[in-house]
Amino acid sequence: MMTILNVLFQQIKGRKNMAKRNISVVVEFILLGFADLPNYQGFLFSIFLFIYMGILVGNGLIIIITKIDPTLQIPMYFFLSHFSFLEICYTSVTLPRMLRNLLTQKRNISFLACSVQLCFFLILGGTECFLLAVMAYDRYMAICNPLNYPLIMNPKACIMLVVGSWISAIPVQIAETYQIFSLSFCDSNKLNHVFCDVPPLLKLACGDISVNEFYSYAGAILFAMIPFLLILLSYIKIITTIQKLPSAMGRQKAFSTCSSHLMVVVLFFGSGIISYLLPNSKKSPSIDKILSLIYSTVTPIFNPLIYCLRNKDILMALKKFLLK
């Protein structure tokens, strides 16, 4: 990570030197965000501040109750606590700067800050894809193979799955970030987006970007499509198994443990896959912004709401915690 940042820093120094020689080279970006809504900046700031506080408090509560409540000391909630922590990290990469831009109307972001934001955003996004797939695998083992579930999903295996989810995306996403910021941005520095993301950055690049687009699509397939297909396969087997259960009560209980996770999966993967796999020529900047806000902001705020409202174990543990 430090090596990549050092290289990017050297690139920035080179860009500044070129700028001093009156060569038109981008050394910072302007995040236009919601500049087309000048009369709603204060309102948008309040909305996103409320959302960010909701993400911190909601996911923080899930982390606390899954650690202290004895009834939640099972793999399902172990993964959920890590997912909630990931959601806090994921939104903290983009929302604080978005709030700062709305509050101060200063939308500039340095070349280095933009690259760091993109790098962490991609790494955490890849981690979220893998962790959602791990959570689906956990539900598959619990419902389709209950006799071997305690043996297979033992504490060591759970830790390895979580660690693997956290570190798997790091080398690939660092490399993709380096490739993107090795491009020349010589036409404009106005980034028509709410944060530094791959599609809007590629729109600003001049020269041949076919290689970068290929890596972007390949990354989307590796970190989004493959985990999504694995999740889909897991749920096909889960639904098939649930339908074979003799009692309606058993079927309802089995599906209730999966429905919350499935809703989060649809929200996150649906918007992310469209944003990264749909060609730039077929997307307007407004649609791009909406999709990015869904997978970067809406999903993290919905995560605690969905689990607290639809999961009886979480709801009961939350009530006990608040009563204390």
pLDDT at 20: 45
79-88, 137-146, 193-202, 273-282 — which is least confidently predicted? 273-282
Render pLDDT for 273-309 as a digit per residue (tens, 0 to 9): 777 777 666 667 777 788 888 888 888 888 887 777 6
The alpha helices in 169-244, defined as continuous H runs, are 170-180, 198-204, 210-220, 226-243
3-12, 90-99, 294-303 — which is least confidently predicted? 3-12
Render pLDDT for 167-178 as a digit per residue (tens, 0 to 9): 998 998 999 899
Tell me the pLDDT band of 3, cut-offs 50, 70 and 90: low
CB atoms near residue 157 (< 10 Å): 14
Residue pair 193/289 in contact (Cβ under 8 Å)? The answer is: yes
pLDDT at 22: 42
Give mean pLDDT, residues 179-195: 83
Tell me which residue has tokens 């290929």. 214
For the chain, the domain total comes to 1
In angstroms, rounded to a whole number, what is the distance separating the alpha carbons of residues 198 and 63?
31
Render pLDDT for 206-218 as a digit per residue (tens, 0 to 9): 877 888 888 888 8
pLDDT at 187: 66
| Alpha-carbon distances of 290 from 94, 168, 262, 322, rounded to whole Å | 14, 28, 21, 35
pLDDT at 251: 67
Render pLDDT for 8-43 as a digit per residue (tens, 0 to 9): 555 555 554 544 444 456 678 888 888 878 888 889
Q: Output the pTM of the full model.
A: 0.85
pLDDT at 21: 45
CA angle, 18 then 20 then 24, to 5° = 55
Tell me the pLDDT band of 60, cut-offs 50, 70 and 90: very high
Question: Which among 122, 85, 126, 136 is positioned nearest to 300, based on CA atoms?
Answer: 85
Q: In the structure encoding, which two tokens stand for residue 61, read together? A: 């509560």
Residue 184, phi then psi, degrees to nearest 5: -95, 130
Question: If you average pLDDT over every residue of the chain, what do you get?
Answer: 83
pLDDT at 315: 81
Domain of residue 141, CATH code: 1.20.1070.10
In angstroms, rounded to a whole number, what is the distance separating the alpha carbons of residues 204 and 37?
22
Tell me the pLDDT band of 321, cut-offs 50, 70 and 90: confident
Residue pair 280/202 in contact (Cβ under 8 Å)? The answer is: yes
Q: Where in the sequence is the domain holding 209, given as residue range(s)?
A: 2-17+26-323
Secondary element (H or E) of residue 163? helix 155-168
Q: In the structure encoding, which two tokens stand for residue 297, read together? A: 């902001």
Q: Is the pLDDT of residue 106 over 90?
A: no
Secondary element (H or E) of residue 53? helix 41-68
- Percent of the chain residues topping a pLDDT of 70: 85
b/e map 99-132, b = 16+ CB within 10 Å:
bebbeeeebebebbebbbbbbbbbbbbbbbbbbb
pLDDT at 283: 65
| Alpha-carbon distances of 277 from 122, 129, 133, 265, 271, rounded to whole Å | 15, 15, 19, 17, 10
pLDDT at 217: 83
Render pLDDT for 210-260 as a digit per residue (tens, 0 to 9): 888 888 888 888 888 899 999 999 988 988 888 877 766 666 766 666 777
Residue pair 307/265 in contact (Cβ under 8 Å)? The answer is: no
